[in-house]
Structure 1
């Protein structure tokens, strides 16, 4: 826990709450493994000091080499929350530099932003909702954090659970029978000097084949948001969709996404949301951000130590009061029930690694994250000659 009880909540927009999760790699021990304890502590300190002012409550966790800050706050405090998170990550990065850690501040790609860290390197997911909506008598949600992979992982995980009744039987209940609308974003779209997104909204029921066509492109298109069709004002999910190479122009680490997803009642239950994770799907990322490997569910605060940096994912479930206070978290993958999935992921990883660098074991040339790979290809292209047949 990283907060002190708040005696009185501000009254402005008192029926609205915002959940924000901000996550970044600003340095880690022994390679891309895990942040130091001092780095996590300074983030907790920044969060703790802001509770009762900028924040209502907060939690700080790690997944692999990333630090994630979960915060509840009033919607109008959004810019201050973004600035607070940046300050915390910047301080953690300073500690990483002092300690000689690897990749210090690697995800802080711009100078200090003003009020919005999206597009500056860190992954950001945020949802605002009314605390007095009659269709949501209690508020539960989950934070999904992943390392050594990109935001396209949610295309499979959320794409399945919000469109396939075989994954989530609740989709056949009256409150969810109308389905969900997906806001998809073109993650490769960049307009120099403009802070704009290229998006499209598709009905996950009526336009499922078209939606699937975009969901399959995990490196090109991502899920920005998902909304209920029966209750269009209710956003159920938000994921970070920034591509670091699109911001920096060169490889600066994999995008290592974070997602927020509300659960129960008019939305799928936690146990339904867990269904797609049992697949341990092959995803882009892994060592040097340039391979295809299975996604392994692991407990929160797990270091990356697997062969070729096996992509990992964690999920923490919480309840939240109308005053913005979090319950104790439930670590959804800290359970023997997931041991078989972890073994499955290891087996799938070993089978893929038997291919070495051939074919689908690595990403296509256009998606290779390390600029050095492309430089070698450019040198080779210059050596090609045209010969008569």
Structure 2
């Protein structure tokens, strides 16, 4: 069976500010998912939230970019938006940036990640397990560093030295500043590892779009690398990416994938999307209510049976006491960074703030600059 795993996520309203969606909103989306399973559009589905973003996880046979599946997700978000508006919730419909997309909704606001593969529970994949990452309050390149370490660095993934992975992985990297379409380069690790790093260091422009096994040609990861401000033409919230990763066997194991997140590495995001802050791993269904507006990431795992149905329960990878120390570390790093306030590296550069009100403030001040008479260049005699 040719099966697709899709995750589509959007912020369409939250309680008391940018915190979490309401129970009524989540119940509405879950009801829509149950109806889509009953009608045969979806094989299975799962709904959760990370911060104020609702994520819909689905298996189906419609393929990537399916108009029917994407429209289903869009309409589900619209119904949740109506509930949010009626309740006076903050940011109702925030991530729905176009009036009515006619086909798939990639580029319309919601984050979309999809993987399609032959699903038979035989051959190189006698068991199919995968994990979904969902981030809130951070930019689109939040996964650049951890996924590079998990799929290209044996210091984090010892499995890269085993026969089924030793040929490495192909990184498909997208230039998110190109608004004319998807501008993608494919670079192979380990041979081009330094070139991959040279691009991925810029989390705001270049992002991992897809990772593919070079040994078996099997897709390993898909990331929703897109810039909301490139779609809307103004600041509408951070990009809050999602990612789907297959694991075990011919791919890195879950522990090799999540270990890099122990760094709580610095990403762009936080309050007003304008600061540089550490990414804190949290359980699914965690609200954003801590100090400042700390970027957060969740990770949920499933197995899939022969028919494409999810296991009866899921694994919440960051809901473990081992991550408590990482969360404390992230909070300490956050307090130290935010103690610097608006100065220097604590905030994103103006090139990343140009779609917000900061541009208007600085733009207005630029008009008031004047050249001192005594410092004017002298005309040649």
Q: Confirm or deny a common fold (TM above 0.5).
A: yes
- Could you say which residue in structure 2 is the equivalent of 1:263? 247
Is 2:283–2:298's contact at 8 Å kept on the other side of the alignment? yes
CA distance in 1, matches of 2:333, 2:220: 31
CA distance in 2, matches of 1:231, 1:142: 20
Q: Between Structure 1 and Structure 2, whose CA radius of gyration is higher?
A: 2
- Could you say which residue in structure 1 is the equivalent of 2:54? 67
Is 2:139–2:204's contact at 8 Å kept on the other side of the alignment? yes
Aligned-residue offset at 1:114: 2.3
- Could you say which residue in structure 1 is the equivalent of 2:96? 108
- Could you say which residue in structure 2 is the equivalent of 1:351? 336
CA distance in 1, matches of 2:125, 2:102: 34
Match 1:119 to one of 86, 107, 111: 107
SS at match of 1:110: coil
Is 1:26–1:107's contact at 8 Å kept on the other side of the alignment? yes
- Could you say which residue in structure 2 is the equivalent of 1:55? 42
Aligned-residue offset at 1:112: 1.7
Q: Deviations over 1:90-141 (max 9, x none)?
A: 1101111100000000100002212311000000000001013511111000
SS at match of 1:91: helix
CA distance in 2, matches of 1:93, 1:255: 18
Is 1:142–1:261's contact at 8 Å kept on the other side of the alignment? yes
CA distance in 2, matches of 1:248, 1:130: 36
SS at match of 1:337: helix
CA distance in 1, matches of 2:353, 2:306: 45
Is 1:58–1:69's contact at 8 Å kept on the other side of the alignment? yes
CA distance in 2, matches of 1:129, 1:356: 47
Match 1:210 to one of 178, 182, 195: 195
CA distance in 2, matches of 1:215, 1:103: 31
- Could you say which residue in structure 1 is the equivalent of 2:267? 283
CA gap 1:299/1:369 in 2 versus in 1, 3 angstroms: farther
SS at match of 2:93: coil
Q: Is it true that 1:84 corresponds to 2:72 in the alignment?
A: yes
Q: Deviations over 1:50-74 (max 9, x none)?
A: 1041100000000000000000000
CA distance in 2, matches of 1:76, 1:216: 32
Match 1:170 to one of 151, 159, 173: 159
- Could you say which residue in structure 2 is the equivalent of 1:316? 300
More divergent stretch after superposition (363-372 vs 218-227)? 363-372
- Could you say which residue in structure 2 is the equivalent of 1:35? 21
4+ long deviations beyond 6 Å? none
Match 2:351 to one of 355, 362, 366: 366
CA distance in 1, matches of 2:6, 2:152: 25
- Could you say which residue in structure 2 is the equivalent of 1:138? 127
Aligned-residue offset at 1:76: 4.4
Is 2:229–2:355's contact at 8 Å kept on the other side of the alignment? no
- TM norm structure 1: 0.94
CA distance in 1, matches of 2:248, 2:67: 29
SS at match of 2:173: strand
Structure 2 unmatched ranges of 5 or more = 376-381
Q: Deviations over 1:362-386 (max 9, x none)?
A: 0001102652100011001101112
CA gap 1:369/1:300 in 2 versus in 1, 3 angstroms: farther
CA distance in 2, matches of 1:299, 1:90: 26
CA distance in 2, matches of 1:66, 1:211: 30
SS at match of 2:143: helix
Matched pairs, number: 370
The 5 Å alignment of 1:133-282 reads 134-191=123-180, 196-232=181-217, 234-282=218-266
